[in-house]
Every structure is written in C-alpha cells, then in structure tokens.
Structure 1
Amino acid sequence: MARQTRKLERSDPVPAGRFAAGEDPAKREQIIDGAKSVFMKLGFDAASMNDITREAGVSKGTIYVYFQNKEDLFGAIIARERERITLRMRDILAGSEEVEDGLYRFGMGFATHITASQVIEAMRIVIGVVDRMPSVCRHFFNSPSQNVRTVLDDFIRRHVALGNLKVEDTDLAARQFIDMVSGTFFKLRLFGDLDDAPPFGEIDHVVTGAIRVFMAAYGLHNASVTTKTKEHA
C-alpha cells in the first residue's frame, strides 16, 4: 500500500526540537541583524526587503513569516537596542550601594554609549522617519518597562527610601541627570559638530560636574564629588 503524506498543518503539534513557524529566536535575531546592517549602510528609505534578504541570508518568504514589512523590522530593531542598553545600565547600577558611585557608573556608561558612532548613526535614521513612524520612535523613548530613565528612576527611588536622597519627583530628577551627562556631547555628535566620540577625560569631567549639581539639589548633605578611576566606567 502506498504511503500517504500530507503537509504539516498549523494545528498539528510541532516535532520535538523544532520551532513553530516564526518562533525560532535565533532565526529572528539573524533577520534583525541583517536588517540593522542594511539600514545602517543605506538608511531606512533606500533599504529594500531584497537587500535585507541577502544580508540576512534567508529567503524572502522566511522574513515575512517573522515580520510584516520593513517598518515592522525597523520597530523590532529599535525595541532590541532599547532593551540592550536598558539591561546594560541596570547591570551597572546593580552593584552600586553608594549614591555617587552609582551616578558615576551610570553617567559614564550612558554618555559613552549615547555618543558612540554606531548609536549616533542609528539615531539619525530614527529622526529621519519620525514623521512617518511616530509611534515606533515614541516607543523607543517612552516604554515604561524597558527604559533607561526608568532604571535610573528606580535607583533614585531606592536611595530616597534608604534616606540617602530627598527627591519629590524622581522621574524629573532622572531626566535632569540624563540630560546633564549626555546633552552637550550628544547634540554635538548628532548634528555633526563633534566628529568623534569624546575622550574619557572629557566625559569624566562632565559626569563629575553633573553629580555635583545633582547632589547639591537632592543630597542630604553637601557631598564632595571626586573623580573616579577608569575601572568604574
């Protein structure tokens, strides 16, 4: 008797060791990596799904199993990069028991990241599509669960509870500190007035000053802020 075969239907159980269509995390990351490379090279508008297909090394059919279109892919890249920097900053603050030490670690880490060439190029792409994709770009900055500002807010709240800081609006305080440690450098880099990422010494100087201002506003005492060593960056 001839053996009958049929296609695997969506309702059929997935064989052990295999992922259902569109649910393989490694394949998804492979596609996102390819799309990010293409967007960084060509920009969002010039990039095509064919370009992404070639760069990712997958078929166009496979891409559409995971992502609806180019805009969906762009949103996935933004979400992944946001999560990565958020987790990094959370790890930096996790080992800091002293307020000033934590602020210094956070400030150095964030300012170094936000002024890196790859990040500046990515931010320029985001700015270029913000009018057409406002919800995607807004989500990058305002997601309540995965957000750098939220990480710093949590740190400030913890030290308020411990009696180390006196802050009425912790979200505002977090915004102020982030602006102080990154504002000038970030804007200069973003608009091309600063060709290269600032050296460690300049970032250290700005971050140290930001801590001094922050502690003057929110510290319980007039704290003396000293420059930390490179190993804390």
Structure 2
Amino acid sequence: MSLATSPASHPADGRCPAGEDPAKRRQILDGARRAFVRMGFDAASMNDVTRESGVSKSTLYVYFRSKEELFAALIGEERDRYFSEVEALLVDAEHPQETLTRFGERLAKLVMCPEAMHAKRTVIAVASRMPQLGRDFYRHGPQRGLALLTAYLDKACEAGTLAIEDRALAAAQFIELATAGSLRRRFFDDEVPEASEAEIRAIVASGVRLFMAGYGARA
C-alpha cells in the first residue's frame, strides 16, 4: 500500500495529522503576529503567543519549536507575497521606463508598509545575538530581490533598451532610488505617517528619470 492511500495519511475521522492542520497553523501565526506587534519580539514569550492564538502550549510546540521559528515563518509569508507580486511586474524588457515605474511604486509600498518596517526593525534589533536570523532575512529577502531586478536589467540590455555594464550595481542603485529619503527616515522614527501614494509616486518618478538618464540606451 502506498503512503498516498495509507490509513495513517488519511485518518478515518478526517482530522489532519499533528502539526499539519493549516487552519490551526494560521491561528497560531495570527496570534504570534499580534503578540510581536503589541509587545515586541524580545518581550513576547511563547506563553503570550498561546494566549493570543487561543491554543494550548503543547499544540503550539507541535507546530513551532520557538518564537524565532514563529517569527521566521511570519517573515516567510510576507516575503512570498511580496515576490509573487513584484516578479509579475518585471516582464516587459522593451519598455523599461514604464516597467521600472510600476515595479518601483509597488516595491516602495511593500517595503515601507508598517508590517514590513516592524519586521526589519525586529531583525536589526536581534541580529547581533541571532546572526543566522539576520543572514537568512537578507539572503531570502533583499538579496533575492536584487537578483530578480538584475535578471530583468539583463533582459532589457539584451533587448537594447538599456545600456548597463554592472547590472547588479544598477539594480541596487534603483532600489535605493525608489525609496530615497523615505525608507531611512521610517527606520528611525516610527511616528512618521505611512508614505502616501503621492509621495511614493513622486519619489519613484524622480528615481526612474535619473536611472534612465544614466542607463537608457543611446540612439
């Protein structure tokens, strides 16, 4: 009998095996997010997560062994949503100005939203004593984003619509331009209002003009 049809894989009562119920996992993650936002990552305990999520401690530990693992899972969810959105924007190599404008605006909204800012501040705060968390955050987030944009710039250069020698450097420059003067301020001042649509459009439009002036293909 294969695993796909074994009784162990499909209990007679229809319940999910321990640690595999998506609804219960969702319930725990939502509770953890509330606890981390309300109390801060360092101050929040697994007991706080159980109270916020409404599950027993034994159930919590079936799904997640530590609050670091919980935090990593929350970041992973946000990261997956982010990349599913922005990857779909980087497809038109024939019109880089329009493509980079759409990408830049979405990038700025996502990386400067309150949830993303809270996650970044938390990672920075704990990175010195949990360096692996910091490394993983960078490798699977910003570094992956840079690679995605670099690949697009490669395509645009091959199409003759951009002329760039160091595409990885150019990708990093564009990401900085898309949040220039806005992201850094929000790192240090959590009372700054969320960036408005008009503010983001203005920053990105200026950044795209500079980028195209430096890297646009010459006739």
State the TM-score, normalized to the length of structure 2: 0.85
1:13 matched to 2:3: no
In structure 2, C-alpha distance between the alignment counterparts of 1:132 and 1:100, rounded to whole Å? 42
Q: Is the 8 A contact 1:49 1:70 kept in 2?
A: yes
Question: Which SS does the other structure have where 2:181 is aligned?
Answer: helix
The range that moved more, 141-150 or 114-123, is 141-150
Task: Render the CA deviation track for 1:63-92: whole Å, top value 9, x for unaligned.
Answer: 111111111111212222222212221133
In structure 2, C-alpha distance between the alignment counterparts of 1:18 and 1:170, rounded to whole Å? 51
| 1:105 counterpart (82, 102, 114) | 102
Q: Is the 8 A contact 1:86 1:151 kept in 2?
A: no
Question: Which SS does the other structure have where 1:92 is aligned?
Answer: coil
Given residue 106 of structure 1, which amino acid in structure 2 is its aligned partner? Answer: F
2:218 equivalent in structure 1: 221
The range that moved more, 185-194 or 145-154, is 145-154
In structure 2, C-alpha distance between the alignment counterparts of 1:132 and 1:168, rounded to whole Å? 38
Task: Render the CA deviation track for 1:115-163: whole Å, top value 9, x for unaligned.
Answer: 2233223322222111122211221221289832232222212212222
2:144 equivalent in structure 1: 147
Given residue 14 of structure 1, which amino acid in structure 2 is its aligned partner? Answer: S
| 1:72 counterpart (65, 69, 73) | 69
The range that moved more, 74-83 or 93-102, is 93-102
Given residue 10 of structure 2, which amino acid in structure 1 is its aligned partner? Answer: P
In structure 1, C-alpha distance between the alignment counterparts of 2:119 and 2:199, rounded to whole Å? 23
1:226 equivalent in structure 2: none
C-alpha deviation, 1:19, in angstroms: 3.1
The range that moved more, 121-130 or 144-153, is 144-153
1:93 equivalent in structure 2: 90
Given residue 204 of structure 2, which amino acid in structure 1 is its aligned partner? Answer: V
Given residue 187 of structure 1, which amino acid in structure 2 is its aligned partner? Answer: R
Q: Which has the larger radius of gyration?
A: 1
- Check 1:29–1:183 CA distance in 2 against 1; reply closer, same or farther (3 A cut): farther
1:205 matched to 2:215: no
| 2:115 counterpart (113, 118, 125) | 118
Alignment of 1:27-46 (within 5 A): 27-46=24-43
In structure 1, C-alpha distance between the alignment counterparts of 2:176 and 2:142, rounded to whole Å? 20
In structure 2, runs of 5+ residues without a counterpart are: 1-5
In structure 1, runs of 5+ residues without a counterpart are: 1-10, 223-233
In structure 2, C-alpha distance between the alignment counterparts of 1:176 and 1:150, rounded to whole Å? 13
Q: Is the 8 A contact 1:53 1:63 kept in 2?
A: yes
In structure 1, C-alpha distance between the alignment counterparts of 2:8 and 2:143, rounded to whole Å? 33
The range that moved more, 143-152 or 50-59, is 143-152
| 1:170 counterpart (167, 171, 185) | 167
Q: Is the 8 A contact 1:83 1:147 kept in 2?
A: no
2:53 equivalent in structure 1: 56
In structure 2, C-alpha distance between the alignment counterparts of 1:56 and 1:79, rounded to whole Å? 19
